[in-house]
Amino acid sequence: MVADAKIIEVDAPTVAVMQTKRQMKYVLVTGGVVSGLGKGVTASSIGVVLKACGLRVTSIKIDPYLNTDAGTMSPFEHGEVFVLDDGGEVDLDLGNYERFLDITLTKENNITTGKIYQSVINKERRGDYLGKTVQVVPHITDAIKNWIESVSSIPVDGKDGPADICVIELGGTVGDIESMPFIEALRQLSFSLGNENFCLVHVSLVPVLGVVGEQKTKPTQHSVRELRALGLTPDLLACRSAQPLREGTKEKLSQFCHVPVSNILNIHDVPNIWHIPLLLWNQNAHEAILKQLNCLSICNAPNFQSWTKMAESYDNLTSSVKIAMVGKYVGLSDSYLSVVKALLHACVACSLRPSVEWVAASDLDDESARLTPQAHATAWETIKSCSCILVPGGFGDRGVPGMILAAKYARENKVPYLGICLGMQISVIEFSRSALGMERANSEEFDPETLYPVVIFMPEGSRTHMGSTMRLGSRRTFFQDLNCISSKLYGNSSFVDERHRHRYEVNPDFVESLESAGLKFVGSDESGKRMEVLELPNHPYYIGVQFHPEFKSRPGKPSALFLGLILAATGKLQAHLDKA
């Protein structure tokens, strides 16, 4: 941040930097030893702790992969693709930031190697470098620094002006070849900003080996040594371990990593991730970070009452509800991370624990009954034991016959059902086949030659390019019937803004036939031709939505449709609607 108002120009994000009296402060979170330590949750939790002190916080996630964004990556490869209001397809950690901090990020808050190199190459092609040899240093590193300083100025909390602190998470593990330009850029940034404007938190693993149970510090020592060799020195260590760190372990880490004992934080295993900000708070992480950033004087005493109540109330819940999650990526739960979190938020609002039963859609179909009868029988036993069924989004035809059977079971047996994106399209296909007698009704995605294309490719979609060619981001849905369940769940609203990510939609040519047979399309876009919400009257809860309500669910602010599903599953929906 600078004292005078001006525009910082980089190739992709260009924002107006508002006049401010304070320099932007940065907290960088890096990871060492192994991946998957929870850097994203740690970064989010640091943000929560700082926000509890009265500071405004924004976040940036750096992903060193060459992809421009996460849009074309398989959920099996990288977990879910999180969608932002502006249509950005980003890393799932930005979902953690939004949920923990209750902020609305932009696609520029996710920096990738692909974006940086693309911006530099575009400038080189335009001749912006005036004939100079374009190199990683200084051109790539300068682009990274400019991007960070520009994006950190974008307000994300609905208020005017930049935030006080920007939390940056560097993806991957220190020492990865692909992250080297980012490490160098961050080293340069920390030097130019000065110690009081830059705080480095290094997340590392402290394993226990053998029956003796000794906590091993050597992996962290090596990780910190490598980080220091690259020009960055940790101010705090966040040590991941199964059990709390012993004092002797902390002292050894302090001695060999040049970090004060008071700045060695322990993030051990907890009952639920809402406890992690409380862990940091109880270890005075906020004081250590604020002292390093020289901003203790502008902070309030941390207020953690509501967060503590939320974390502890979940621990005390005893009753649960079984939810059948019928999908094609069930082998990796991160593939449906936002859906799982939305179910958690809805269940906690109903004083319940979610018991998610993962059902591979391919195990439900007739082919599975022939080839893997045991898996087929187990899958159907699971479906029948659950109180509700959820079919989330996805792409491709694998598992579709099983999803159709699950939707049919829910419809015929009055089991509460929520279909999201693909799940809505599945319900339309199933209803067309069962109620309209269109045995070959299908989506053009699965059968381009179908006689009854009840789901079609979007007219404005691209069939040649995959990235950012779908209907993406926040779009407005208008309710045609204010007496429908969906409108009532949204507070009797006439419209709702939700995030989309799809390239196929219900064929408007079949809407009249489907409605005459009993399926009601209660929500559409402004044109009235793009169907967004369907309901089945005379059913406890059978709703399909083309958008993804899970992306805007927050702790304490559950998604209306997920809340409706859980209420219906426990027989409390009508009472809730009567109160509304």
Domain parsing of the chain, residue ranges: 25-311, 317-578
51, with CB counted inside 10 A (0-12, 13-18, 19+), is buried
Take residue 445 and report the two structure tokens written for it. 């995605």
Q: Which of 445, 498, 505, 550 is catalytic?
A: 550
Binning the chain into helix, strand and coil, the percentages to the nearest 5 are: 40, 20, 35
**Cα gap 140→193, rounded to integer Å:** 19
The three-state secondary structure class of 359 is strand
**Cα gap 98→308, rounded to integer Å:** 19
**Cα gap 342→332, rounded to integer Å:** 17
Instruction: Give me the pLDDT at residue 196, please.
Output: 93
**Cα gap 115→146, rounded to integer Å:** 13
| Amino acid (one-letter) located at 491 | G
Take residue 115 and report the two structure tokens written for it. 């974006």
Q: Which of 421, 430, 502, 505 is catalytic?
A: 421
Q: Which of 275, 286, 502, 548 is catalytic?
A: 548
Cis peptide before 508 (omega within 30 of 0): no
Q: pLDDT by residue for the chain (580 residues), tens digit each?
A: 333 433 344 455 544 444 445 689 999 999 988 888 889 999 999 999 999 999 999 999 999 999 988 888 888 777 899 999 999 999 999 999 999 999 999 999 999 999 999 999 999 999 999 989 999 999 999 999 999 999 999 999 999 999 999 999 999 999 899 999 999 999 999 999 999 999 999 999 999 987 778 899 999 999 999 999 999 999 999 999 989 999 999 999 999 999 999 999 999 999 889 999 999 999 999 999 999 999 888 888 888 888 999 999 999 999 999 999 999 888 787 899 999 999 999 999 999 999 999 999 999 999 999 999 999 999 999 999 999 999 999 888 889 999 999 999 999 999 999 999 999 999 999 999 999 999 999 999 999 999 999 999 976 655 544 555 678 999 999 999 889 999 999 999 999 999 999 999 999 999 999 999 999 999 999 989 999 999 999 999 999 999 999 999 999 999 999 999 999 999 999 999 988 6
Take residue 265 and report the two structure tokens written for it. 């934080």
Instruction: Give me the pLDDT at residue 13, please.
Output: 57
Category of 424 on φ-ψ map: left (φ > 0), alpha (ψ -120 to 50) or beta: alpha
Contact of 576 with 567, CB cutoff 8 Å? yes
Q: In sequence order, which residues have a C-beta less than 8 Å from that of residue 125 and are 6 or more positions away?
A: none
**Cα gap 33→241, rounded to integer Å:** 13
Q: Of 59, 55, 66, which Cα lies nearest the Cα of 42?
A: 59
Whether 178 is catalytic is no
**How many CA atoms are closer than 13 Å to the CA of 542, on its beta-carbon side?**
25
Instruction: Give me the pLDDT at residue 1, please.
Output: 37
* pTM of this structure: 0.91
**What's the fold here for domain 317-578?**
Rossmann fold (3.40.50)
Asked if the domains 25-311 and 317-578 are classified in one and the same CATH topology, the answer is: yes
Whether 526 is catalytic is no
Contact of 71 with 125, CB cutoff 8 Å? no
Whether 550 is catalytic is yes
Contact of 198 with 165, CB cutoff 8 Å? no
Contact of 185 with 144, CB cutoff 8 Å? yes
E strand spans, 144-302:
165-170, 198-205, 208-209, 214-215, 236-241, 264-268
Q: Are strands 208-209 and 82-83 parallel, antiparallel or unpaired?
A: unpaired
Instruction: Give me the pLDDT at residue 462, please.
Output: 54
25-311 belongs to CATH 3.40.50.300: yes
User: To which H or E segment does residue 29 belong?
Assistant: strand 25-31
Give Dmax (Cα) for the chain.
Answer: 75
Instruction: Give me the pLDDT at residue 10, please.
Output: 46
| Amino acid (one-letter) located at 568 | A
